[in-house]
Structures are given as C-alpha cells and as structure tokens.
Amino acid sequence: MCHLRFDDTNPEKEDTEYVSSIIDAVKWLGFGWENNGPSGNESNLYQASDYFDFMYRAAEYLIESGNAYVDEQTAEQMRLSRGDFGHPGTDSPFRSRTTDQNLARFHEMRDGLHEDGSMVLRTKIDMASPNINLRDPAIYRIRRATHHNTGDKWCIYPMYTFAHPIEDALEQITHSICTLEFEDQRPFYDWLLDRLCEGGLIATPHPHQYEFARLNLTYVLTSKRKLAQLVYDHKVNGWDDPRMPTIVGLRRRGYTPEALQLFAERIGVTKSDSWIDYSTLEGALRDTLDPIAPAPWPYWTR
C-alpha cells in the first residue's frame, strides 16, 4: 500500500489526463492506496486542492500573527530587492503595513478585485538571511484559471513550497522525503510548520523533511522539462513512446513491474550524487525475465 498525492497547486499545469495516467502507472507498478481502516475501506489518495480552504485560513493566521504581508511590487522589483548570495535583500515598502491593511488586501485578492500578478502574499521572515529562500518568500499569488478539481472557486492559489508542508502535516506524514534540490527549502518548511503549531492549526510534533539524491541514469534523459519538450516538439510519439524513460514508455518497451522494483531495490537511496549505469536497469529486467521466459527453439528445428 502507498500514499498517493497530487500537488495540483498550479491550475494552468494540471489536467485530469495526467492524473489518470499517473494513477494507472502506479497501479501497474503494483501499488495501491486503499486501506481497510477502522471505519471500513479508506483511500489514501489525496490532492493539494482538497486543502485549499485550510491553506487559506493558514495564510490568514500568518497575517494576523504578523508573519505575512501583501506585497504590491512588480516581479522585477521583488527580484532585485531579494539581493543575491553576496548581498542581503532590502525590505519591501509594503512590509510595514498593519495587520488590518494586509487582511483587507488579502481578502481583495481572494475576491478577484486585482489583476493577475499585481500582488502576492509573502511571509515576513528575514530579508538579510544567508538562505535566499528565507527572504520573505511568496506563498499566494493571483491566477485566474479554471482548476481541474475546484473549478473557478478560487482566483488565488498557494505556492507549492507553502502547500507541501501543510499537506504533510494534515496527512500525518512523519518523514517527508524529497530530492536534494529541496534541501535549501527545509528551513522554510520548518519555519512554516513551527508558526502553524504555535497557532494551534496543526498538531505537534510536526513532520520533518529528509533529502536524497535524484536518480541519474547513464545515457538517459530524466529531466521532466526536457522530456516534455521532446513530446511538445513531436520528436517522439507521446509520453508512452518506447524510446522515452517514462513508466509508460518502459512498459511499452517490455519492462515489467518486477524489473523496475528490483532495479529500485538494487540502487538503494543515498545523499551522494552519482550515476547509475544503464546496464543495472537491463540486468534487473534480465534477472526477472529469465526464470519465466520460454526457452527458444533450437535453430535446427525451425
């Protein structure tokens, strides 16, 4: 059994087609998310959009406790004011607004009274922090787009870095495991959950994030952005093209769920960036097929 969640915080990049495809791939790999709990059959299938109401209330609490404010700078102005690795950031001119002013502005954002991109809700942490991710990161933005799950109920959406720790807490995750590029985001993960614990919005102890190195396979492109470009440019015949290193592509090429599970078991988990030789994947397939594949006829009987 597994725990399956869709982080559908960006309405412009979410589609039921992708949701159905992922569900089918995970089931094909041999995993399920139905659990026979005390109240009967329970599903461990979740979507970030199921928590949008709670996330909105959490954002209001951060404003009320003096930990968030509405910023009306342009994207370029915010980028420049954040500074860089050698220079601290500078405070936004809107950072000193009162709680009532920020709440009023945030409610206006929710009610669709302002244009897309005209303002964002930012946490108030430390613009001089050596970790740029703590320099008042944005947690809500205005985006008028129909969401595949919530429709047109919302015109403001939470950022992934804000939604992710909240989802973990509400689903009672103890170890939130992600790849190393999120290591610099861990301080914000802890800061946010600490604030929400202080307000009694989530239980303690809260989840903790742990990182591991992503899979690098020799001779194989694994970047989702680059693979998407191959699909959109029609260099391949869709995500399930047998040349693609996707689950559906490997499935069409003849790989079995058992082979991919054995491959994952053999390479293990590490925090060190390393490259796995492609022969390891082929070996896992060979070792799962050899015991069950019918022997070929001797050539002299053909």
Give mean pLDDT in consecutive 10-residue pieces for the chain, a chain of 302 residues. 87 81 93 73 88 98 98 96 94 97 98 96 97 97 93 96 96 92 95 98 95 92 91 94 95 96 93 90 95 77 54
Q: CB of 120 within 8 A of CB of 138?
A: yes
Would you list the DSSP string of the chain?
A: ---EEE----GGG--HHHHHHHHHHHHHTT---EEEETTEEEE-EEEGGGGHHHHHHHHHHHHHTTSEEEE---HHHHHHHT-BTTB-----TTTT--HHHHHHHHHHHHTT-S-TTS-EEEE-S-TT-SSGGGS--EEEEE----BTTTBTS-SEEE-HHHHHHHHHHHTT-SEEEEEGGGGGGHHHHHHHHHHHHHTTSS-SSPPEEEEEPPP-BTT----HHHHHHHHHTTSSSSTT-TTS-SHHHHHHHT--HHHHHHHHHHH---SS---B-HHHHHHHHHHHHTTTSPPPPPGGG-
Show the domains of the chain with their CATH numbers.
Answer: 52-158 (3.90.800.10), 224-289 (1.10.1160.10)
The pLDDT value given to residue 222? 87
pTM metric for this prediction: 0.88
The pLDDT value given to residue 124? 98
The pLDDT value given to residue 300? 61
Q: Residue 55: left (phi > 0), alpha (psi -120 to 50), or beta?
A: alpha
